[in-house]
Structure 1
Amino acid sequence: MKNILVPTDFSAEAHHAFRAALQLARRTGGTVTLLHVLALPDQPRTANFSTFGGPVSGSELPNSYGIDRIFVIKLLEATHQRMQQLLAEAAELAPGVPVHDLTDQVSVDEAVLKVIERQQIDLVVLGTQHHDALERFFASSNTEQLVRLAPCPVLAVKQAPDLDAVHDILFASDFSAEADQAVQGLQQVRQLFPQARLHLLHVTDGNANQARQQIDSFISRHQLAPAEAVLMEASSVSGGIEDAARKLGAGLIVLPTHARSAFSRFFQGSIAEKVATQSTQPVLTFHL
């Protein structure tokens, strides 16, 4: 997870994501790309800014902007200034981490997916809002959409991060046959946090003995020891995951997901999306 993308609207939530990305990039020797999606007037989108390399000067804007021209120029200037402030902050907090800035004008989802493909992004880090926050760029619908669509892992953070203090990782699964596909992603996480304790959670419907056997078999089959089996009985999988994370003091929740409904109910994308938007702990999701 060396090539990290951070979509930003310059909000506090986006700033949390930026700092989390810097912390991860320090660990991996990676790079960080900041992406801002401009909300420009409904005008032709030809050559109004550079998608890769930051905003262009106002003189390069087409004359078709008319009365909106001054607004657009000011918006580009403000965006450039804010990006420069973040680059300066990165140079101070993580001087060895290369950070690049990009802008785009398409929808957030489209812009993120385009950058993932073009720049071979390994990880997207998103800032998410608390439940009572006003609707803005990082509304839950945007987070859910990106968790569902992004081909690479997505890390959702809600609070100021301290990933260097992650001592407990919670990996939630039902440990059915398709869970074996998640092992590679789980091992990558353990490499990032080699000192952290690994907890394997099964949210049960009451059959605790069978659930524990499935976890023990999973640990043995993939040589994951030392790891702790955790059983949580709950009416919903997402609620059980959040409760277990709080009780364990988990610094990171890891969730595999699969968009196709043919897989077990745990791996349906809706669960990962719900936890990613609701949990106060950082949540890392990846597709099987």
Structure 2
Amino acid sequence: MKKILVPIDFSEYSEYALKAASIIAKQQNAEIIALHMLGLSEAVLIKNEAQEAKEAMYYMKLAERQFDTFLDKEYLKGVTVIETVKSYKVFSEINDVAHENDVGLIIMGSHGVSGLREEVFIGSNTEKVVRSSDIPVLVIKNPVDDFTVKEVVFACDFKIENIRAYHNAMQLFDALGANVHLLYVNLPGEQFRNTDQIEERVKEFLFKADSGKLEMYDKVAYYNDYTVESGVFNYSNKIDADIIAIPTHGRRGLAHFFNGSIGEDIANHANKPVITFKI
């Protein structure tokens, strides 16, 4: 991983992401691309009228000045930071920027839950990026001082469709030197599976994913709980995980495995950093 993309809106949440990125960048000897999207309409950018041209230039210059202050941080010393200001309005274009620059990881900040019915990602820019990104997206919701990635929980249902996400996760966590715990949450009722059924599914998945090897089989944890969300949280807290990793279907929401928007609930309500991998 040589480059990390951090979308910046100059808020405290994007600073959370920037600080986490600086720590990973120092560990990996990677560069940070700090991207600010103006969200200007195409009409403003292509019209010849002097006033509209001046308006577009004003916002471009303003963003550049904001970068001067925002990036003046002690924790960024020794890290190469490339400032980029784009006129993009559609957040799927962040994925294009990431591919053009051979980015290995996108890190974004997101606010926390402040009300019973308020969801962190619903309708937010972070959700839009996650849904459209082919590249792993790490979401930081709280201030970070000593951000470490030592213990990771990768939760999925071990369906064959998750192999791509699994491969990308293992590659990234190997680069970070993290210890990965694979997690299957077993539920009561119709979704309950006995030990033999679960083990058969996991072995089939790992056999296909790892070319016949079952070295990761002993890394699989089976956790019984009433919901997948609570199972992931409880197990992650039990082992004091640094990050929760989940596969995502992008087009249908943040991460849908089992039935419904379980992954989305996990990402919305988790206090720990969450990283998504496209299925």
**Secondary structure at 1:45's aligned position in 2?**
helix
Amino acid at match of 1:227: K
- 1:24 positional shift: 1.6
- 1:62 positional shift: 5.9
Amino acid at match of 2:13: E
1:278 to 251, 269, 275: 269
Would the aligned equivalents of 2:223 and 2:231 in 1 still touch at CA under 8 Å? Answer: no
What percentage of residue pairs aligned between the two structures are identical? Answer: 27
Identify if the C-alpha distance between structure 1 residues 275 and 229 changes in structure 2 by more than 3 Å, giving closer, same or farther.
same
Q: Deviations over 1:239-287 (max 9, x none)?
A: 43233323332111111223578xx961789444443333111111111
1:96 paired residue number: 78
2:193 paired residue number: 207
1:154 paired residue number: 137
1:33 paired residue number: 33
In 1: Cα distance, 2:122 partner to 2:239 partner: 25
TM-score (norm 1): 0.76
How big is the alpha-carbon RMSD for the aligned residues of Structure 1 and Structure 2?
A: 3.4
Q: Deviations over 1:57-77 (max 9, x none)?
A: xxxx962239x85x973x544
Identify if the C-alpha distance between structure 1 residues 4 and 62 changes in structure 2 by more than 3 Å, giving closer, same or farther.
farther
2:210 paired residue number: none
- 1:85 positional shift: 2.4
1:170 to 142, 153, 166: 153
- 1:218 positional shift: 5.5
Would the aligned equivalents of 2:92 and 2:129 in 1 still touch at CA under 8 Å? Answer: no
Identify if the C-alpha distance between structure 1 residues 26 and 78 changes in structure 2 by more than 3 Å, giving closer, same or farther.
same
2:215 to 223, 245, 254: 223
- 1:132 positional shift: 1.4
Would the aligned equivalents of 2:203 and 2:214 in 1 still touch at CA under 8 Å? Answer: no
Amino acid at match of 1:145: K
In 2: Cα distance, 1:16 partner to 1:268 partner: 32
Would the aligned equivalents of 1:216 and 1:229 in 2 still touch at CA under 8 Å? Answer: no
Amino acid at match of 1:167: K
**Secondary structure at 1:97's aligned position in 2?**
coil
Amino acid at match of 2:144: P
1:65 paired residue number: 52
Identify if the C-alpha distance between structure 1 residues 190 and 72 changes in structure 2 by more than 3 Å, giving closer, same or farther.
closer
2:91 to 88, 109, 134: 109
Structure 1: 5+ residue stretches without partners: 48-60
**Secondary structure at 2:44's aligned position in 1?**
coil
In 1: Cα distance, 2:135 partner to 2:78 partner: 24
**Secondary structure at 1:109's aligned position in 2?**
coil
Structure 2: 5+ residue stretches without partners: 208-212
Identify if the C-alpha distance between structure 1 residues 144 and 40 changes in structure 2 by more than 3 Å, giving closer, same or farther.
closer
Would the aligned equivalents of 1:198 and 1:228 in 2 still touch at CA under 8 Å? Answer: no
1:254 to 236, 245, 250: 245
**Secondary structure at 2:45's aligned position in 1?**
coil
